[in-house]
A and B are shown apart, each in its own frame.
Chain A
């Protein structure tokens, strides 16, 4: 288990170094995800221990957003000042984005299957 946690940390570190060196506009952990994915492609399967370690982290993913979420308290006044445009923007845009993406994907996948 510690071995696979080390592997995950290494992937993130490689991702951070890559992003830092090339000044890319994406987060290091996202590149780390790609590095881990490439490792799995080469390896050809997910080792049991890695699967369990990943399951542990992903099963707790909601918990991991709590500290950042509590940061809301820093901006009560700003949120209050522009409450209407901000809340309407978040609500309308989140629902619209989700509907457009899901319906388009459903339609395109359905079309692909219909054509074989």
Chain B
């Protein structure tokens, strides 16, 4: 008995350092989050990404595990973000007839949304007493993380903090977007999806896909276009002001 307990303890020490453990932690945390989300009648305030992140971070802090150790396991899940982004071409193709019909409206709305994201983020943070470094860090918060980090680096912010703000923006938008869009009286799925993808990138797109395929397609399109628009516009706007 003692021997099997010791074996179990040794196996535990081995497993808790192996990728399997943190990969499983990620999956289990997400299953719990998805269950809560379903039980609550798919209420967007109980966003599954938010709940799963809270569970994972709580476990890591309580067990004194570093993020780097966690990521060795979680990277296998993280890796699939790339292929999932490629897969967004499928709903986009299925909605192509709608996209083509409103191409000009999409470009105008998206460009104005992109500028709004930059100006209001920097403006609000400045009014609230943010340092120049903080302003440069928050400026690209609405675009997908790799692009946002590259832009922040270029204008003198902190790329890794930008990555965190990108995630928080995504979670916040996914939680409150549905209510805000209802409040604005926007019922059209293409407009709702475009707004989600422009304001909160992939996490907003994941939320849009939960609701409607047209919204998901427009959100995925907006995410890609806003990455491009922000990468071009932000350094120009930044140069004009600073």
Contacts and interface: CB of A to CB of B under 8 A. Distances in A.
Given A65-B206, A67-B78, A101-B110, A72 B164 contact: yes
B130 A89 contact: yes
Interface in A83-115: 84-86, 88-106, 108-109, 112
B83 to A, nearest CB: 5
A21 interface: no
Contacts of B124: 85, 88-89, 92-93
B75 A37 contact: no
Contacts of A75: 160-161, 164
A60 B31 CA distance: 11
Most chain B CB within a 10 A radius of its CB, from A46, A69, A96, A112: A69
Given A12-B82, A26-B231, A58 B112 contact: no
Contacts of A67: 26, 70-71, 74-75, 77-78
A61 B168 contact: no
B31 to A, nearest CB: 9
B106 to A, nearest CB: 7
Interface in B125-167: 125-131, 134, 138, 141-142, 144-147, 150-151, 158, 160-161, 163-165, 167
B interface, size bucket: 35 or more
Report, as a range, how many residues of chain A touch the other chain.
Answer: 35 or more
B128 to A, nearest CB: 4
B128 A71 contact: no
A66 to B, nearest CB: 5
Contacts of B116: 93, 96-97, 100-101
A112 B62 CA distance: 56
Contacts of B158: 78
Contact of A94 (B102, B110, B173): B173
A22 interface: no
Interface in A37-82: 37, 39-41, 46, 50-51, 53-54, 57-75, 78-79, 82
Nearest to B204: A98
Contact of A106 (B52, B71, B117, B191): B191
Contacts of A25: 147, 150-151, 228, 231-232
23 contacts: A11-B89, A29-B81, A33-B86, A33-B89, A36-B87, A36-B89, A58-B84, A62-B210, A67-B75, A68-B81, A69-B50, A72-B164, A74-B67, A74-B160, A79-B164, A85-B128, A89-B130, A90-B168, A90-B172, A96-B116, A97-B117, A97-B199, A98-B181
Interface of A: 5, 8-9, 11-12, 15, 25-30, 32-37, 39-41, 46, 50-51, 53-54, 57-75, 78-79, 82, 84-86, 88-106, 108-109, 112
